[in-house]
Structure 1
Amino acid sequence: MEIADLITWFEEWANPAWSENWDNCGWQVEPGILQQPARVLVCLTPTLAVMHEAIACNANLIFAHHPLIFNPPKSLRRGEAIADMVRLAFTKNIGIYSAHTNFDQVQDGTADVLAQILELKDVTPIVPTQNGLGYGRVGILQPLMTLKELLAVIHTRLAPPNLIVSPTADLHQEISRVAVLGGSGASYISAVVKTGASAYLTSDCKFHQFQESRDRGLVLIDAGHYATERPACDRLVQKLRSLNLDWVQLSDQDEDFRQVLP
């Protein structure tokens, strides 16, 4: 399958037009590779380490969840990460494509994969957008679990470096309704409360957002940005392999930019 056909297939599933106004989905760098057979390296975040991995693997497309370029750069200078990524993309003929908030909304996107990992039932979006899609997912645990059991499942299946949990949470509390949203989901706390969820798995939560959740009777669980979004990248690789591409692989150089010291 040529890269142009691959992108057409993907955009029929996760239309970049669905992305938020502040976002930058779609082509980040396209050095003239559309008619080449697709050799795809999938990653969460496009970094120089991922670029060098793509070069070593003879990949011609880095397919990333996070955009390389969020804000228009005022200059491009050697030694700066974005500039060096763009330079290598053109000199090595490696495209960089991003699917961000459009990928968050769709079936088998970031939120849906989290819901599947926790085996939630009767799943619906936290905030619907269109055609039954939307941001986040909320569903039922069957059988229900104590909070302690739920945290153990999250540790086992997501392997986060740590979990940050509401301090007054009762570990023996029975949890039946759970909300999930990969990446930075603290701004959805009010929407989650309206769903009737007892616990909310997301990341990048601040001090006062834990306070807000506690005051509103919601157990907030922060598993980290990487742990909550990387599984969807793995699922994307599985989907791409079903297309019989020339080559596709999940990056070994993807990084969790937070380190928890013992």
Structure 2
Amino acid sequence: MLSAADIIAYLDEMFPRSLAETWDNVGLQIGSASSPCRTVMTCLTVTEAAAAYAAEQRVDLIISHHPLIFSPLKRVTPEEAVGRVIYTLIAHRINLFVAHTNVDRAEGGLNDWLAESLGLLDIGMLDPEAEAAGYGRIGRLPSRMTLRSLAEYTAEALNIQGVTMVGREDKLVQAVAVCSGSGSHLWPAALHQGADVLITGDVKYHTAVDVLATPLAVIDAGHFGTEAMFPSRMAELLEKEAKKKQWPLRIIVYKEGAGPMVTVQKGVFDGETDL
């Protein structure tokens, strides 16, 4: 009988836990690896809604990118969101496996998926010294375009509401560096490797000010936007492995919509307020 351990062994082969940061918390967080596994659900974050959906679908194993348990918990109670998620998973005998910074860094992992989602060519490691792992990728667009056009294209390619950018709108770009999640700290490496623009998330104000004084441009597509392809791409890998090994496995992709943060566009204020 297929067990969670079989799935976990495959994930550990593809994305070795040794690649994870020492501060990270990856691997099996809830449940038992020996549990039978008939249905797997992939998700970006194990929210209360995701846990409830997994219970409804009779999921045996959740594979999440973001850890549910990151810092040591002082208590597990239904008064707190994390506690309620843990209650749901345990009550429905759902195992939870986390693949976080090891997937960020691994070759063929999240940063490659991001670069491919943007249609980049000749994709390589942003750090040329990284032989098999590292944050960030660099590639090129099929043809040059303006920074404004690339910003609009990025929002469309990643299916997000919008992006912010640092740099002149009419700047021509072709060499593109990317880093999923929070990667603005890599802007010096992107500049050094000859990138015209870095696409990442969670760019801070002072980082933007520093970048503005350089030839590099930055597009902030958000933490969620640059990682939202994790559930579907992870599911694709599992489907190929299941077909190869003839696993009787049902795979569900949990989609989180637009993520927790919503962009509100400036409009015409009519002067009415409920305050």
Q: What do the CA deviations read for 1:53-109 (whole angstroms, capped 9, x no partner)?
A: 000111011110000011101122222112222222222100111111000012332
Query: In the alignment, is residue 211 of structure 1 matched against residue 176 of structure 2?
Result: no
- The one-letter code sitting in structure 1 at the alignment partner of 2:72 is P
Q: Which residue of 1 aligns with 2:6?
A: 5
Distance in 2 (CA, whole Å) between partners of 1:44 and 1:92 is: 20
- The one-letter code sitting in structure 2 at the alignment partner of 1:163 is V
Identity of aligned residues (%): 30
- Please state how far the C-alpha of 1:255 moved relative to its aligned partner: 6.1
SS of equivalent to 2:153: helix
Distance in 2 (CA, whole Å) between partners of 1:50 and 1:39 is: 15
Q: Which residue of 2 aligns with 1:258?
A: 261
Query: In structure 2, do the counterparts of structure 1 residues 130 and 171 end up closer, same or farther at CA, with 3 Å as the change threshold?
Result: closer
Q: Which stretch shifts more, 120-129 or 131-140? A: 120-129
Structure 2 unmatched runs, 5+: 243-247, 266-275
Distance in 2 (CA, whole Å) between partners of 1:242 and 1:62 is: 18
Distance in 1 (CA, whole Å) between partners of 2:228 and 2:210 is: 27
Contact kept in structure 1, 2:43 and 2:230, CA below 8 Å: no
Distance in 1 (CA, whole Å) between partners of 2:258 and 2:86 is: 19
Q: Which residue of 2 aligns with 1:28?
A: 29
Distance in 2 (CA, whole Å) between partners of 1:216 and 1:130 is: 25
- The one-letter code sitting in structure 2 at the alignment partner of 1:189 is W
Query: In the alignment, is residue 247 of structure 1 matched against residue 245 of structure 2?
Result: no
Contact kept in structure 2, 1:43 and 1:254, CA below 8 Å: no
Q: Which stretch shifts more, 95-104 or 126-135? A: 126-135
- Please state how far the C-alpha of 1:188 moved relative to its aligned partner: 1.5
Instruction: Work out which of the residue numbers 160, 176, 179 in structure 2 matches 1:178.
Output: 176
Q: TM-score, normalised by structure 1?
A: 0.92
- Please state how far the C-alpha of 1:121 moved relative to its aligned partner: 2.0
SS of equivalent to 2:144: strand
Q: TM-score, normalised by structure 2?
A: 0.88
Contact kept in structure 2, 1:3 and 1:35, CA below 8 Å: yes
Distance in 2 (CA, whole Å) between partners of 1:19 and 1:176 is: 31
Query: In structure 2, do the counterparts of structure 1 residues 126 and 228 end up closer, same or farther at CA, with 3 Å as the change threshold?
Result: same
Q: What do the CA deviations read for 1:203-231 (whole angstroms, capped 9, x no partner)?
A: 11111111111112211111111111011
Contact kept in structure 1, 2:181 and 2:222, CA below 8 Å: yes
- Please state how far the C-alpha of 1:160 moved relative to its aligned partner: 1.8
Q: Which stretch shifts more, 15-24 or 80-89? A: 80-89
Q: What do the CA deviations read for 1:124-170 (whole angstroms, capped 9, x no partner)?
A: 2223675333111011222222223322221211122221111xx23
SS of equivalent to 2:241: coil
Q: Which residue of 1 aligns with 2:131?
A: 131
Structure 1 unmatched runs, 5+: none
Q: Which residue of 2 aligns with 1:199?
A: 197
Contact kept in structure 2, 1:45 and 1:254, CA below 8 Å: no
Q: Which residue of 2 aligns with 1:91?
A: 91
Contact kept in structure 1, 2:177 and 2:190, CA below 8 Å: yes
Distance in 1 (CA, whole Å) between partners of 2:52 and 2:106 is: 30
Query: In the alignment, is residue 232 of structure 1 matched against residue 230 of structure 2?
Result: yes
Distance in 1 (CA, whole Å) between partners of 2:95 and 2:250 is: 15
Contact kept in structure 1, 2:161 and 2:263, CA below 8 Å: yes
Distance in 2 (CA, whole Å) between partners of 1:104 and 1:177 is: 21
- Please state how far the C-alpha of 1:37 moved relative to its aligned partner: 2.5
SS of equivalent to 2:135: strand
Distance in 1 (CA, whole Å) between partners of 2:228 and 2:11 is: 18
Distance in 1 (CA, whole Å) between partners of 2:160 and 2:238 is: 26
SS of equivalent to 2:156: helix
- Please state how far the C-alpha of 1:2 moved relative to its aligned partner: 2.5
SS of equivalent to 1:243: helix
Distance in 1 (CA, whole Å) between partners of 2:139 and 2:211 is: 18
Distance in 1 (CA, whole Å) between partners of 2:93 and 2:131 is: 37
Q: How many residues align?
A: 259
- The one-letter code sitting in structure 1 at the alignment partner of 2:15 is A
